[in-house]
Structures are given as C-alpha cells and as structure tokens.
C-alpha cells in the first residue's frame, strides 16, 4: 500500500468513500508518522487513542455510506483551541496541565463533520510570535532545510513561522492531512508561506472565537492550514459558521467553498498596491510578486495598480491594538482558579510570582506594552490614535473594492524562513517586521489567503497573499487555485526527521 500520509485531504476523503482504505489505516499511518517525527516538536500532546476511536467510529459510518464532510480524516489542532478532556496550553507554562471541560465551537464543528484528532499542535506562547520560538514547550522545527550556495543542504534548524508553527510544520511534514490555526496579525499566513503550505485567514466573524484562547479579540480569527487550496476550502467550510456564543460571529450561511476551487477567474480585477513595494524589498520577493501578476493575467484576470495609502502605519498601529487587548485578555491567568500558581506572602505577591514565572519573555513584553498604551495619559496618544489608523486602513481597502477591485495580490512575507535564533533576539521589531504584509488584513477584518508560489535562492518556499472583500473567500479560493496551478510544484526535501 502507498504511504497514506502522502495523500491530500481531498484524495484521502475520496479514497475513504471509495473504500480504498479505512480511516483506521489512514489514521494509524499518521500516528506512526507523528511518532517518528518527534524532533520537529510539532505536537505538544498526541492523542492516538482518541484518534483511533474516532477513526473506528468513522469507519462504521463510512461502511454505511454515511458520515460528514470530513469523515475519518485525521487533523492536527492548534493548542490554542480548547478541547474537552485534552490538555490545552496556548504554548504557555501558565496553562500547563489545564484540561478544559468544554470544546471550542470550531473543533466541535470539525468533530460534527467526522474529523479525527491526532493531537494538539505547538505554537508561539499565546500565539505571540512569528517563528514558534516563544513556545514554553520548545521551538518547532520546519521540515524544510536551507540550501547553501554550494548546493549543499544545511542542517541549520529552520523556523516554521508563527504563531501557527506546529500547524504549518505538521502539514508540510505530512503529520496530519490538515490543521487548524489562528491568525491575529499573520499567524496562519506567514507560517503557510514559510512551509510551502496553503493558509487562509477568513473574514473576521466567519469562524466562532468561542473556546479559542484569546490573544487580541478584535483581530483573532480561526482558519485552516492545508497542503492544497482545495483542502483549505474543504476545511474552512466545516470550521466556519455562526455561533450565538460569539456575538462577533457572522450570521449567514457558509458557502460550499470547494465549488469555487477551479472556477474561472476571467475578468476578475486584481489590485496591486504600490505601497507594498517596500524600500529594500528583496529582488527575489519582487520577482515572485511579478510572477504572480503574470500568472493571474494569463488566467484572464485584469491587473490594476491601486493605492492603499495608510499601509505604512499598519504595523505600528497593530503593535498597539494587539498588545492592548492582550494585556486585558491575559489578566485572567492569575493563578487563582486554574493553571500555574506560585504562592506568595499576599495576593499581590501571588500574582507577581505566578505571572512572572508563568509567562515567557515575549508575552510579558506585550502585556507591558499593552498596559502602557491603555494607561491614563497615554490612551489618547496611543490606543485611540491606533484605532483611528485602523479605520483609515479599512477605508483604504473599502475604496479599492468600491472602485471594482475583486482581490488584492501581495507578497506573503518580506523574506523566506530563517533559522532558529537568527531574528529578533536583540531587537524584537526585527521579528515584528515579518507581519508587514499580513497585519493590514487583520486590522481591516478582511479574508487573506496565502498560497505557495516559488522557491527562494536558498531552497525555501515562498508564498503570495490574496486579500479579498469581506466574506468573499470564494474569490480567494478561485484565484489561489489559479496560482497553485500555474506555479511550479514545491517539492519538500526527503524526510530527514524520521
């Protein structure tokens, strides 16, 4: 039998329906792959028994030609999603050992449709990071390796991006058919770009946030990472939907996204924002972008240069709004009701010891920034101004769409993936710059899809980003598939991780 982990999610689904193999076989193949790939550190918790029990139940349904859209398909779940009876940590020491008594709405939707859970995927602590180096449970290692100028593969450990680094690496390394992820400033799209996978952050409100550990509530969105555009479309359909428990969730039917995969993009108007052509942009990234434009034009789309004048303010404004909300959202981790507790001589001492030990450096930094920008005397200068900028950024997009633009094409990241320890150790802003092309999308609440489009000179994948109109994810899937079809196949190196 061929290696079942080599299948795409759509192929595995069709294979199960055709009874070419069983979900137990498919699941076991993934469990084995996960067990061999410990050095990638993708999973914080593996749940093979639960997975096999779910697979068995799925096989019973499949035998009767029953079951949901994801029946019997093994997935990885980012450890930011609360899972009933399975430890949920958000990558933080402060939640180590925390076992929720409830299941997030998005994962509930996945189990409803028959998916199988392989385990909980590693991430940057509280989803704060762009390299998965801030996780209390250690960094995730990308299956990708850099090629030296001499053509030799380096054994330097490459980061899988972040915060959904466990998700992107696990999908890239075939340790699951697809994974859930979350995106606050680029945490789905940047890791997808770094690992040659497909990731979509849907429109704010498309997926329920209920049961997902909050980072920045007005920016957080759930979405999938998968190996193809079609797989991402299949997953998003199951994940999305209105939820009365999240009043910011959107009350409208979820389209069958898979139908838009392969649909013609003829006549679609694609905006190319000139402000994204940053000073000092690498020739490699600029060329990739131009190539993307050429592919879409060849597919029949109309290309139009547009202006999104407030783009350059997006990153600084994001690093005010997101930490502000985070400083408040993370106040509940106080050692009183659950998670880590360090006793102290009085209540203030208990808080200080618990939070100093429970939170890592980057989380502490963002709590400090957020507390500062919300403080009396600074609120107007920072938080309020950042919110005004946010309104202007959203208006930039509104105007472009009102002028007839259907979607916007940009690079996904300013560079390919880097090695562990290479960025941000002396200056955190160096790390924050990873989000320069992605944060605008969160600030405006729009959908954004990243699709692999090429390779860097050092042999690492590069992605392009498509930004859509609110709740028009279908357009992104059509355009994304057009790029996917046109782009050269991204071939992952042979397994070196087991």
Residue 217 interacting with other proteins (CB under 8 A): yes
Cα 232 from Cα 25, distance rounded (Å):
23
Q: Which stretch binds other proteins (CB under 8 A): 132-140, 319-327, 405-413, 425-433?
A: 319-327
Q: Which of 35, 63, 244, 252 binds other proteins (CB under 8 A)?
A: 244
Residue 338 interacting with other proteins (CB under 8 A): yes
Residue 430 interacting with other proteins (CB under 8 A): no
Closest distance of CB 335 from other proteins, Å: 9
Q: Which of 18, 49, 101, 489 binds other proteins (CB under 8 A)?
A: 101
Closest distance of CB 79 from other proteins, Å: 11
Instruction: List all residues 6 or more positions away from 27 whose beta carbon is below 8 Å from its beta carbon.
Output: 51, 52, 54, 55, 72, 74, 116, 118
Cα distances from 3 to residues 13, 30, 54, 144, 196, in angstroms, run 15, 10, 21, 20, 20
Cα 310 from Cα 364, distance rounded (Å):
29
Instruction: List all residues 6 or more positions away from 35 whose beta carbon is below 8 Å from its beta carbon.
Output: 46, 48
DSSP secondary-structure letter at 76? Answer: E
Residue 252 interacting with other proteins (CB under 8 A): no
Dihedral in degrees, nearest 10, Cα atoms 235, 238, 241, 244:
-120
Cβ closest to other proteins, residue 246 vs residue 422:
246
Residue 391 interacting with other proteins (CB under 8 A): no
Residue 457 interacting with other proteins (CB under 8 A): no
Instruction: List all residues 6 or more positions away from 139 whose beta carbon is below 8 Å from its beta carbon.
Output: 41, 131, 132, 133, 157, 159, 165, 420
Residue 28 interacting with other proteins (CB under 8 A): no
238: helix, strand or coil: helix
Closest distance of CB 390 from other proteins, Å: 12
Cβ closest to other proteins, residue 288 vs residue 340:
340
- Please tell me the count of residues contacting other proteins according to CB under 8 A: 43
Residue 14, token pair as written in the block:
């069709």
Catalytic residues: 78, 163, 187
Residue pair 60/224 in contact (Cβ under 8 Å)? The answer is no
Please report the sign of the dihedral spanned by the C-alpha atoms of residue 66, residue 72, residue 75, residue 79: positive
Residue 112 interacting with other proteins (CB under 8 A): no
Residue 470 interacting with other proteins (CB under 8 A): no
Residue whose tokens read 């055709």: 18
Cβ closest to other proteins, residue 213 vs residue 234:
213
Closest distance of CB 282 from other proteins, Å: 35
Closest distance of CB 375 from other proteins, Å: 6
Q: Which of 124, 325, 406, 473 binds other proteins (CB under 8 A)?
A: 325
Q: Which of 32, 84, 246, 284 binds other proteins (CB under 8 A)?
A: 246
Q: Which of 211, 360, 448, 454 binds other proteins (CB under 8 A)?
A: 211
Closest distance of CB 41 from other proteins, Å: 22
Residue pair 171/224 in contact (Cβ under 8 Å)? The answer is no
Residue 88 interacting with other proteins (CB under 8 A): yes
Q: Which stretch binds other proteins (CB under 8 A): 115-123, 204-212, 286-294, 430-438?
A: 204-212
Beta-carbon count within 10 A of 156 CB: 13
Burial 75-109, CB ≥16 within 10 A → b, else e: bbbbbbbbbeebbbbbbbbbbbebebeebbbbbbb
Closest distance of CB 323 from other proteins, Å: 12
Residue 380, token pair as written in the block:
């107007």
Q: Which of 206, 14, 146 is nearest to 420 (CA)?
A: 146
Q: Which of 17, 379, 402, 403 binds other proteins (CB under 8 A)?
A: 379
Beta-carbon count within 10 A of 281 CB: 14
Q: Which of 214, 462, 464, 466 binds other proteins (CB under 8 A)?
A: 214
Closest distance of CB 328 from other proteins, Å: 5
Closest distance of CB 330 from other proteins, Å: 8
Q: Which stretch binds other proteins (CB under 8 A): 185-193, 296-304, 321-329, 408-416?
A: 321-329
Cα 327 from Cα 372, distance rounded (Å):
9
Cβ closest to other proteins, residue 172 vs residue 367:
367
Q: Is 18 exposed, middle or buried (0-12, 13-18, 19+ CB in 10 A)?
A: exposed
Q: Where does this chain bind other proteins (CB under 8 A)?
A: 81-82, 88, 90, 95, 98, 100-102, 104, 209-214, 216-218, 244-248, 324-325, 327-328, 330-332, 334, 336-338, 347, 351, 371, 374-376, 379, 383
């Amino acid at each position: 039998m061929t290696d079942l982990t080599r299948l795409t999610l759509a192929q595995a689904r069709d294979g199960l329906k055709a009874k070419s193999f069983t979900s137990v076989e498919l699941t076991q193949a993934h469990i084995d792959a996960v067990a061999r790939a410990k050095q990638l550190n993708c999973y914080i918790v593996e749940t093979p028994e639960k997975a096999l029990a779910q697979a068995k139940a799925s096989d019973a349904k499949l035998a009767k030609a029953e079951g949901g859209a994801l029946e019997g398909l093994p997935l990885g779940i980012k450890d930011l999603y609360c899972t009933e009876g399975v430890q949920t940590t958000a990558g933080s020491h402060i939640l180590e050992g925390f076992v929720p008594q409830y299941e997030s709405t998005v994962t509930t939707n996945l189990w409803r449709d028959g998916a199988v859970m392989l385990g909980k995927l590693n991430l940057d602590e509280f989803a704060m990071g762009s390299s998965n180096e801030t996780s209390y449970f250690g960094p995730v290692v990308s299956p990708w390796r850099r090629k030296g100028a001499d053509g030799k593969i380096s054994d330097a450990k490459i980061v899988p991006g972040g915060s959904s680094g466990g998700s992107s690496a696990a999908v890239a390394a075939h340790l699951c058919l697809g994974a859930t992820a979350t995106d606050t400033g680029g945490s789905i799209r940047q890791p997808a770009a770094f690992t040659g996978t497909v990731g979509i952050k849907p429109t704010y409100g498309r997926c329920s946030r209920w049961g997902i550990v909050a980072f920045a509530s007005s920016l957080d969105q759930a979405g999938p990472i998968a190996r193809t555009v079609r797989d991402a479309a299949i997953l998003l359909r199951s994940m999305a939907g209105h939820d009365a428990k999240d009043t910011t969730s959107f009350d409208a039917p979820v389209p069958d996204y898979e139908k838009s995969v392969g649909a013609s993009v003829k006549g679609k108007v694609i905006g190319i924002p000139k402000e994204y052509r940053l000073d000092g942009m690498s020739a490699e990234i600029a060329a990739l972008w131009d190539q993307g434009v050429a592919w879409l034009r060849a597919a029949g789309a109309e290309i139009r240069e547009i202006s999104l004048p407030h783009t350059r303010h997006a990153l600084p404004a994001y690093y005010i709004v997101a930490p502000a909300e985070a400083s408040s959202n993370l106040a509940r981790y106080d050692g009183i009701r659950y998670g880590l507790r360090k006793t102290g001589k009085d209540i203030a001492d208990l808080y200080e010891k618990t939070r100093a030990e429970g939170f890592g450096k980057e989380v502490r930094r963002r709590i400090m920034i957020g507390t500062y920008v919300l403080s009396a005397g600074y609120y107007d200068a920072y938080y309020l101004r950042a919110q005004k900028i946010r309104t202007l950024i959203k208006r930039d997009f509104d105007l472009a769409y009102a002028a007839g633009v259907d979607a916007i094409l940009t690079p996904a990241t300013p560079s390919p993936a880097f090695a562990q320890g290479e960025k941000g150790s002396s200056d955190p802003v160096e790390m924050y710059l990873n989000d320069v092309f992605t944060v605008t999308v969160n600030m405006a609440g729009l959908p954004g899809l990243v699709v692999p489009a090429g390779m860097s000179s050092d042999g690492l994948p590069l992605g392009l980003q498509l930004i859509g109109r609110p709740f028009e994810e279908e357009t992104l899937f059509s355009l994304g598939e057009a790029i996917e079809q046109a782009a050269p196949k991204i071939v992952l190196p042979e397994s070196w991780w087991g």
